[in-house]
Amino acid sequence: MISRKSVITFGMVAIPIAMYTATQDNDIRFNQLHKEDNSRVRYKKTCAHCGKEIKTEDIVKGFEYDKDKYVVITESDIEKIKTAKEKSIQILHFAQLNQISPVYYDRTYQAAPEAGGEKPFELLRSALMNEQKIAIGKTVMGTKDTLMAIIPREDGILISTMFYADDIKELQKQYNKPEVSEQELNMAKILINSMDTPFEPDNYKDEYQEKLRTLIETKISGKQVVAAESDDTGKVIDLMEALKASVEKAKKDKNENTNKKSITNKKAKENKKNDTDLKTKPS
């Protein structure tokens, strides 16, 4: 689903693009019910003056310029004051990805070239990839200038909207840094390296949402909900012992995962070979 169409501009180059939402919300949603009879609780939009219930199409935007005095602003009014430059995504400069704190990223879109924009789109993507850079740009979205990061990938370009500095709360939670011994630091490094594996998004699932679905199915079927077993290991008493134990567990888990992958790959090869044999077998 296309979220919006725009144009990326830098120098004298203009690249027509379409932006597609890159994420989706899979969370389970609950409705609010009246405790006495389990009926839905509904919220109505009403006019403060006449008390009538208002439909969505009857609602307009208004700015209160004085007490109880409003000026109505329509979408057409907003579009009229936008220049072509403001409707496009203007690249302001280029930067390194690791220079930006993750706290500044908001929402991510996938960008795709529109007809006629394929060559400059690929040129921008390739150049950014080769230089290991991202582009910082801005455009008007809704009623505000929106800062953006244009991030190259092997298979395309991602565009992330960004917060401004004054949108970010100052990180006030400070702590007293205790001394860390060289032995503890070395053991922590060993643990990190023993758990170092490539990031593969398909390996991660929202396990708690799965538990929630099971809970709902259990309640629907009228069965009793059984409390989960506690996996609380208690407080860590000896940091070095905990690190050593963690390293051993990480090595064991890594070996088990390697073996599982090896078995899976072996089965996949066998299945592929069997499929090939069946195709080449004379009828």
Residue 250: its pLDDT value, please?
82
Cα angle vertex 138, ends 134, 141, to 5°? 130
* CA dist 265 → 80, 179, 261 (Å): 59, 46, 6
Residue 197: its pLDDT value, please?
81
Residue 108: its pLDDT value, please?
94
Residue 158: its pLDDT value, please?
96
Residue 221: its pLDDT value, please?
86
Mean pLDDT score of the chain, rounded to an integer?
A: 84
Residue 135's pLDDT band (cuts 50, 70, 90): very high
Percent with pLDDT over 90 in the chain: 33
Single pTM value for the model: 0.68
Residue 231: its pLDDT value, please?
59
For residue 54, is it left (φ>0), alpha (ψ between -120 and 50) or beta?
A: beta
Minimum mean pLDDT range among 53-67, 127-141, 165-179, 218-232: 218-232
Amino acid at 173: K
Query: Is pLDDT of 191 > 80?
Result: yes
Enumerate the domain spans of the chain. Answer: 2-23+80-165, 177-198+238-277
pLDDT (tens digit per residue) in 92-124: 999 998 889 999 999 999 999 999 999 999 999
Query: Is pLDDT of 137 > 90?
Result: yes
pLDDT (tens digit per residue) in 206-239: 787 888 888 888 888 888 877 777 655 555 457 7
Answer yes or no: are the C-beta atoms of 131 and 26 closer than 8 Å: no
Residue 154's pLDDT band (cuts 50, 70, 90): very high
Residue 232 or residue 201, greater confidence: 201
Query: Is pLDDT of 282 > 60?
Result: no
Domain 2-23+80-165 annotated CATH 2.40.290.10: yes
Residue 84 or residue 11, greater confidence: 11
**How far is Cα of residue 79 from the mean position of the Cα atoms in its chain?**
29
Q: CA nearest 104: which of 174, 172, 21, 161?
A: 161
Q: What number of other Cβ atoms are within 10 A of residue 175's Cβ?
A: 5
* CA dist 63 → 55, 80, 282 (Å): 20, 17, 78
Query: Is pLDDT of 254 > 90?
Result: no
